[in-house]
Amino acid sequence: MRVSHEWLGEMVELEGVEPAQVAELLTLSGTEVEKVTAYGLGLDRVLVGEVVGLRRVEGSDHLFLANVAVPGQEPREVICGADNLFLGALVPWARPGTRLPIGLEIGRKRLRGIWSEGMLCAPDELGLGSDHDGVLILSPDDAEAGMPLDRLYPADHLYELEVLSNRADCLSHWGVARELAALLSRPLRDPETSRPTRSASGPALRVNVASSTDCPVYLAEVLTGIRNVPAPAFVRRRLAAIGQRSLGGIVDLANYVMFEIGQPLHTFDLNRLPAPEQELEVGVRRGRHGESISCLDGVRRELDPETLVITVGDAPQAVAGLIGGEASAVGADTAQVLLEAANFNWARLRSTSRRLRLRTEASGRFERQLSPHLARVGADRFIHLAVRHLGATLGPRAEGGAPLTPAAAIRCDPRRISAILGMELSPVAVAGPLRRLQFEVREEGAEMLVTPSPYRTDVATAVDLAEEVGRIIGYQEVPGTLPPLRQAPPLEALAEPVARLTSTTCRAAGFSEAVSLSLVSSERDGLAPRLIGDLAHLELANPLSAQLGSLRQGLLQGLLQSAHHNQARGQDRVCLFEQGAAFWARGQERPEEPWMLALLDLADDTAEDGAARLRHLMALIASLSSAGGGGAVEFRPVAWPALHRARAAEVWAGSQLRGIVGEVARPVADAFDVRGRVEVAELRLDGWLKPGGRPGQAPPLPRTPALVLDLSVTVPIRALLGPGLQAIRALGLPELELVTPIDEYLGDQLGPGVKGWTLRLRLRHPERTLTTSEGDAARQAILRVLEREVGARAR
């Protein structure tokens, strides 16, 4: 919302307060000032001139030559491109040598052989808004030739406010002035609302509100003898300053009151309402199916039982709180007005506004829970202005709704407010800011009975009062402290989280950390290798797009996409990992959110290099499991969707399947537009790795020397090492400390269909040195097991 410094200054003394200071005070106390702009600055150098001669410039189809006069001087010739000039028009005239507020330097200029003496200005050229439709035409009621323009447009500053959603009271100059009065400790001057005597003339009036929940207050006032002449200059100027177009005196005054007091008003032309001569029955009820209303914006809107309507003689005349009807709109000939000052249920208006896709200044205020107490003030203010400036006489009135309940008093202990804010405040220091906010404070012993201003709908409890005191004193005054740590944090907090251990381990192994959106296209996600098998995706009911329409079931589709992104930018090796939740549907039940780790290693290289990178990935998985207390892992070759049929394995730890690892199948890599070989893994970490990682357990260090032997065998080309090693371990040789594969050899001299393995055996006896023959015996035993299990031959 835009508010004017000059307008505020009418309600609170702003003498000696700079706009920047106003902006800071408002911002820190909750009403953020997003922008301060100067308005009508430096207009003392622009004079009001009268157009005393006007003709087209010869040879031009759009230029006019105006003779502009001020008293006591010869008329001067000014060339002008606007076509809204007429003889006798009063216009702003910037003479040569003037510097306009927007920075324009005005000189004497020669155009088409004529010397033009300055410029006739449009509003935007004067820094009076953005209107550039023509030269600003001044009303002879306000202006006279020779007058400096700042008499009409005093220097002002405009504040662009971001009002908090619970502060409907601040959607008006009066409300903002109330804040400033409290912040500056200056008195608040309420707008004038003298109440004239009521004449008996006019129709009998009744208001019938169907539900006071829908409409707590409805005030109807008849004003007769009104003339829809232009509103007074100060009204038009202030409305123009905050960006409102002038729409005739009656509507301008209603708008003026809305921006000043905060109460939206509606004016019906009484003579255009059905049967104005007899009794006028104004109703507030829900709409009916099949009803519709043609609105002020020219749009016909269907009504329904969710929509609140204003009726006269049961015929809809307005969508309550949102927009008026076209039929009863005020026009130039309006002579009698039915004024509405009402309050409508905020939730109802919100849903109606959303359903009709229409938001107006009025609905925006009602939606935020405007105080019902404002209706009376708004009506009185309009009546005051209309009687004074539009010649209106006050006629009959009626009201509907429920009786207004006065704001409830809040009992509070000032020590409680000190305790919430964490600063020592005396009862006087607590009461001061509250009183300055127009709250009523009564002291009752050590306690206080505080009645908030009736215009505030957001203050109901002692903590609300603490906020009021805090923000008016200013949070910069609150001393910063730390809460005492009276009890030690839980010991579990000391354990290194799995996510952190995982990140450290993966980065140390050369993988960079990726983070992707959790929203995916289910089609793409379904293409990528995933630990979860066939499962329907969780879909969003209201997605932004199909690309972001589903929740990811795995993390590899994100990494494949990032791999493509990086490869397309010239990276020939991409090593990424990502951790995060995946989402697995369980019908109506809470979906499962496994904590996943995905790894990806992409390079454009040979099959052999790919295999080496795959092994590096598997080594990383094994060391991660070991570091995270997940135990020994076993890789079981398997055929897995979207993975290379001869390069895929399940990752098992103990008796649990924990993940998959392998090379992405060529067609899948193609689908993600990735060249080269992509080695990937996806693992579920929750329930496997433990916070704090592996518990430290160190067995006594052996004192005896180890016997290290190598065993070379030949095996069939597709023999699996994993089961072979498992069989060796199952043998349970007490002296066998470690068995490590050190070489895999594929060569012609071994013959077709055969490959060589070399295993390094480390044997040790806890008490004595092993003999060579004991070593040979162990080697023989192992060889026999390998012969049996994988068809090995000694080499």
Judged by CB under 8 A, the chain residues 506 through 535 that form the site for another protein are: 506-519
Using the rule CB under 8 A, which residue among 38, 335, 463, 781 binds another protein?
463
Q: How far is the CB of 343 from another protein (least distance, A)?
A: 16
Contact assessment for residue 703 and residue 764, using Cβ atoms and an 8 Å cutoff: no
Angle (CA) 322 323 324, round 5°: 140
Q: How many angstroms separate the CA atoms of 154 and 6, rounded?
A: 8
Comparing CA positions, the residue from 314, 313, 292, 295 lying closest to residue 303 is: 292
Q: Note whether 540 binds another protein by CB under 8 A.
A: yes
Using the rule CB under 8 A, which residue among 403, 533, 587, 747 binds another protein?
587
Site for another protein in 325-364 (CB under 8 A): 346-347, 350-351
Q: How many angstroms separate the CA atoms of 574 and 559, rounded?
A: 10
Q: How many angstroms separate the CA atoms of 763 and 780, rounded?
A: 13
Using the rule CB under 8 A, which residue among 3, 280, 421, 431 binds another protein?
421
Give whichever of 21 and 278 is closer to another protein, judged by the CB atom. 21
In this structure, are strands 205-209 and 280-286 parallel, antiparallel, or unpaired? parallel
Q: How many angstroms separate the CA atoms of 712 and 710, rounded?
A: 7
Site for another protein in 115-174 (CB under 8 A): 164-167
Choose the binding region for another protein from 145-153, 394-402, 417-425, 629-637 (rule: CB under 8 A).
417-425
Choose the binding region for another protein from 3-11, 184-192, 476-484, 656-664 (rule: CB under 8 A).
476-484
Q: How far is the CB of 482 from another protein (least distance, A)?
A: 5
Q: How far is the CB of 653 from another protein (least distance, A)?
A: 22
Choose the binding region for another protein from 191-199, 445-453, 544-552, 651-659 (rule: CB under 8 A).
544-552
Q: Note whether 776 binds another protein by CB under 8 A.
A: no
Using the rule CB under 8 A, which residue among 231, 254, 386, 466 binds another protein?
466
Give whichever of 244 and 521 is closer to another protein, judged by the CB atom. 521
Give whichever of 10 and 367 is closer to another protein, judged by the CB atom. 367
Give whichever of 620 and 763 is closer to another protein, judged by the CB atom. 620
* CA 499 to mean position of chain CA atoms: 29
Ramachandran category for residue 249: left, alpha or beta (phi over 0 → left; psi -120 to 50 → alpha): alpha
Site for another protein in 18-47 (CB under 8 A): 27-30, 32, 34-35
Comparing CA positions, the residue from 98, 109, 83, 1 lying closest to residue 44 is: 98
Q: How many angstroms separate the CA atoms of 213 and 307, rounded?
A: 13
Q: How far is the CB of 349 from another protein (least distance, A)?
A: 11
Give whichever of 428 and 482 is closer to another protein, judged by the CB atom. 482
Q: How many angstroms separate the CA atoms of 403 and 364, rounded?
A: 24
Q: How far is the CB of 641 from another protein (least distance, A)?
A: 24
Q: How many angstroms separate the CA atoms of 176 and 183, rounded?
A: 10
Q: Note whether 482 binds another protein by CB under 8 A.
A: yes
Q: Note whether 436 binds another protein by CB under 8 A.
A: no
Q: How far is the CB of 503 from another protein (least distance, A)?
A: 7
Q: How many residues bind another protein (CB under 8 A)?
A: 95
Give whichever of 223 and 448 is closer to another protein, judged by the CB atom. 448
Residue 729 in tokens: 């371990």
Q: Note whether 566 binds another protein by CB under 8 A.
A: yes
Site for another protein in 363-392 (CB under 8 A): 367-369
Beta strand residue intervals within 20-100, DSSP E: 32-39, 47-56, 64-69, 76-80, 90-94
Give whichever of 618 and 790 is closer to another protein, judged by the CB atom. 618
CB-neighbour burial class of residue 420 (10 A; exposed 0-12, middle 13-18, buried 19+): middle
Q: Give backbone dihedrals phi and psi of 746, rounded to 5 degrees, phi first.
A: -120, 115
Q: How far is the CB of 242 from another protein (least distance, A)?
A: 20
Q: Note whether 446 binds another protein by CB under 8 A.
A: no
Q: How many angstroms separate the CA atoms of 425 and 427, rounded?
A: 7
Using the rule CB under 8 A, which residue among 290, 490, 747, 751 binds another protein?
490
Q: Note whether 492 binds another protein by CB under 8 A.
A: yes
Strand order of the sheet with strand 440-444? 410-412, 447-451, 440-444
Contact assessment for residue 657 and residue 650, using Cβ atoms and an 8 Å cutoff: yes
Give whichever of 297 and 572 is closer to another protein, judged by the CB atom. 572
Give whichever of 476 and 749 is closer to another protein, judged by the CB atom. 476
H-run or E-run covering 221: strand 217-224
Half-sphere exposure of 444 (CA within 13 A, CB side): 12
Choose the binding region for another protein from 202-210, 568-576, 716-724, 745-753 (rule: CB under 8 A).
568-576
Q: Note whether 429 binds another protein by CB under 8 A.
A: no
Give whichever of 123 and 554 is closer to another protein, judged by the CB atom. 554
Give whichever of 151 and 615 is closer to another protein, judged by the CB atom. 615
Q: How far is the CB of 186 from another protein (least distance, A)?
A: 20
Give whichever of 515 and 612 is closer to another protein, judged by the CB atom. 515
Give whichever of 214 and 367 is closer to another protein, judged by the CB atom. 367
Q: Note whether 485 binds another protein by CB under 8 A.
A: yes
Question: How many C-beta atoms surround the C-beta of residue 700 within 10 A?
Answer: 6
DSSP 268-283: EEGGGSS--SS-EEEE
Q: How far is the CB of 155 from another protein (least distance, A)?
A: 21
Site for another protein in 590-619 (CB under 8 A): 590-591, 593
DSSP 557-599: HHHHHHHHHHHHTT-SEEEEEEEEE--B-BTBSPPB--EEEEE
Q: Give backbone dihedrals phi and psi of 506, rounded to 5 degrees, phi first.
A: -70, -40
Amino acid making up residue 716: P
Q: Note whether 749 binds another protein by CB under 8 A.
A: no
Q: How many angstroms separate the CA atoms of 569 and 513, rounded?
A: 18
Site for another protein in 188-217 (CB under 8 A): none
Give whichever of 33 and 65 is closer to another protein, judged by the CB atom. 33
